[in-house]
Amino acid sequence: MKMKTAMLGMALLLTAPALAGGGASVPSGNTIAAIVSNDPNFSTLLAAVQAAGLTQTLSGPGPFTVFAPTNAAFAKVPADQLNALLANPTQLRAVLLYHVVPGRVTAAQVSRLTSAKTVNGANVNVSASGGMVMINDATVTKADVAASNGVIHVIDSVLLPPQ
């Protein structure tokens, strides 16, 4: 009996961190939103997705291909520009949707493209050379992170849509 109680207590302790972030507001499963919310390298992206009201979208059925900038990528954006962007949900949404391509596009498919139309409506330029793939001026640092509703390609810079 003590063993069962101890195991139940351990299970509750292990699940507590998942609930500490806000319970229902933290996506569960293996969706793009859940992967981003559970990876500390994407905490700035997560804050931006939440501020733009896109959490439900990235938890939806998709499929989507997301070029996901890391915290280090967001750190390259001057603080005043980043704060202004986070304070303007409409502009923030446009920037974030510029990181999303409809459908599930794998690294092998991306590397054969020269451009791709984003959900924002504008195109990103794609180039591949020497095993490196560039999306505009951003380098893909990790490809094909599989999600139940698409795929994530990690990039080292934030993509800004054309004006």
pLDDT in tens, 123-149: 999 999 888 999 999 999 999 999 999
Give every residue of the chain whose pLDDT is below 70, as ranges. 1-28
Domain ranges of the chain: 25-155
Q: Could you tell me which CATH number the domain at 25-155 has?
A: 2.30.180.10
Which pLDDT value is given to residue 28?
Answer: 55
Which pLDDT value is given to residue 111?
Answer: 85
Which pLDDT value is given to residue 71?
Answer: 96
Which pLDDT value is given to residue 17?
Answer: 31
- Which phi and psi angles does 147 have, rounded to 5°? -130, 160
Residue 152's nearest CA partner among 29, 36, 26, 44 is 36
pTM listed for this prediction: 0.81
Question: E strands of the chain, at which residues?
Answer: 64-69, 100-102, 115-117, 123-129, 132-135, 138-147, 150-155
Name the token pair of 96. 């974030």
d(CA 41, CA 128): 25
Kindly report the number of other CB atoms within 10 A of residue 15's CB atom. 10
Kindly report the number of other CB atoms within 10 A of residue 75's CB atom. 13
Which pLDDT value is given to residue 107?
Answer: 92
Which pLDDT value is given to residue 55?
Answer: 87
Which pLDDT value is given to residue 15?
Answer: 27
Which pLDDT value is given to residue 86?
Answer: 84
Which pLDDT value is given to residue 94?
Answer: 94
